[in-house]
Structure 1
């Protein structure tokens, strides 16, 4: 497995992103067993406690599952075969970033609207917690991109449509690097936080049209930022 050095400020979050990337690229398939904690700690050059935190986070997101006495495995779900083939198609073609944005603007506003109709109380609680963690990261000067990706994926999960969720996971994996490069200033991170609050508030209130509008405006703002200097 190809791993990258971990930034000190958000160690377990970067491990989460890297493991998700391995799964989305097909390097880890549903049902595969992860190396032991000790080996993962050596690979990422972190402590075993940090590895445990990353695994716990991914388990809570139903990406991994820990089986007592057997180890940690990539969770198998009904949408895995579609997600793997969709992500593989994207990675083989390496689409232009503008094309990725066009697709995101087509599907994610509708996902937000569907989440406003279908999100469960527990999913809403998780959304609010993610936004709170993103604010904490902003105030402490830490990168918040892991929370950004987590929120968009949770909205797709809350839509109730497994195909939508798989598409968002694949598209966000393609978009991660450009988001990391283009959204690092405090002003831009604050704008992202404000947009996420607006989306979550609309979903929490069950305001379908407001959720759709807030997501569309958020994506248009991010697109303008990413391409400002290109």
Structure 2
């Protein structure tokens, strides 16, 4: 990524954080109000979805907003006084990771999640997985499929009920939203490969629903290794 692109991302993050501070301090964003979707914030402020998530995560950690999977992001009670007292620094710059490095890390990290999912996942978690499966399978473009593919893997992280995995998946999705990953996916995707991915997703969710952590972990490794093979031929 060029220095110009990095500068634009940093500017977008600063603009979003400044907007939220100003709107909360003025009372225009008050208790219970719902923030625009991440995609809309990304478009408005010229920041990647991952950058938007990092800004929102910072505001969430300070108790200014609350997030509910499938419902959205909402302003917390007493936010006007809290934001005036909080020293909210600019978000950290995006981590620069190549698609090849991303796949290496995913193969190490994501197969660990099923053990926690098997222990902690709720009916709501499985409902979100099912929604992502259906939306991905009905996607009419590769971009739409990629979005719901990423959301499915994020739903796995959410189902661990461990904030570390959610933060890692946010970083993973940030890399996936960059141009290089998209170009590789466009070049490698065929109707047959997409059907393979969809079948692997279904098998993975079925193993998780059965609380079979070993089978789900093995299915995750198979899925990620096929993606790696299709993208890089290794």
- TM bucket by the smaller chain? 0.5 to 0.7
Provide, for residues 16-55 of structure 1, a one-character-per-residue CA deviation record: whole Å limited to 9, x for no partner: 7766333245498426xxxxxxxxxxxxxxxxxxxxxxxx
Q: CA deviation at 1:119?
A: 0.9
* Corresponding position: 1:168 with 2:173: no
- Over 3 Å counting, the alpha-carbon distance change for 1:131 and 1:179 in structure 2 is farther
Residues 59 and 66 of structure 1 are in contact (CA less than 8 Å); yes or no, is this contact kept in structure 2? Answer: no
Q: Which residue of 2 aligns with 1:222?
A: 227
Q: Which residue of 2 aligns with 1:204?
A: 209
Residues 98 and 175 of structure 2 are in contact (CA less than 8 Å); yes or no, is this contact kept in structure 1? Answer: no
* Counterparts of 2:182 and 2:51, CA distance in 1: 18
Normalised by the size of structure 2, how large is the TM-score? 0.62
Residues 115 and 213 of structure 2 are in contact (CA less than 8 Å); yes or no, is this contact kept in structure 1? Answer: yes
- Over 3 Å counting, the alpha-carbon distance change for 1:179 and 1:113 in structure 2 is farther
Secondary structure of the residue aligned to 1:144 is helix
Q: CA deviation at 1:109?
A: 0.5
Q: Which residue of 2 aligns with 1:149?
A: 150
Moved segments of 4+, more than 6 Å: none
Q: Which residue of 2 aligns with 1:132?
A: 134
Secondary structure of the residue aligned to 2:211 is coil
Residues 112 and 199 of structure 1 are in contact (CA less than 8 Å); yes or no, is this contact kept in structure 2? Answer: no
Q: Which residue of 2 aligns with 1:182?
A: 184
Residues 41 and 52 of structure 2 are in contact (CA less than 8 Å); yes or no, is this contact kept in structure 1? Answer: no
Q: Which residue of 1 aligns with 2:116?
A: 114
Q: CA deviation at 1:157?
A: 1.1
* Counterparts of 1:128 and 1:167, CA distance in 2: 22
- Over 3 Å counting, the alpha-carbon distance change for 1:189 and 1:66 in structure 2 is farther
Number of residues of Structure 1 aligned to a counterpart in Structure 2:
177
- Over 3 Å counting, the alpha-carbon distance change for 1:59 and 1:116 in structure 2 is closer
Q: Which residue of 2 aligns with 1:65?
A: 74
* Counterparts of 1:113 and 1:182, CA distance in 2: 31
Give the alignment of 1:13-92 within 5 angstroms: 15=40, 20-24=49-53, 26=55, 29-30=58-59, 60-61=69-70, 64-65=73-74, 88=93, 91-92=94-95
When Rg is computed on C-alpha atoms for both structures, the one with the higher figure is 2
Of 189, 195, 199, the residue aligned with 1:194 is 199
Residues 17 and 146 of structure 1 are in contact (CA less than 8 Å); yes or no, is this contact kept in structure 2? Answer: no
- Over 3 Å counting, the alpha-carbon distance change for 1:190 and 1:17 in structure 2 is farther
Q: CA deviation at 1:205?
A: 1.0
Normalised by the size of structure 1, how large is the TM-score? 0.63
* Counterparts of 2:111 and 2:154, CA distance in 1: 13
Unaligned ranges ≥5, structure 1: 4-11, 32-57, 71-80
Secondary structure of the residue aligned to 2:161 is coil
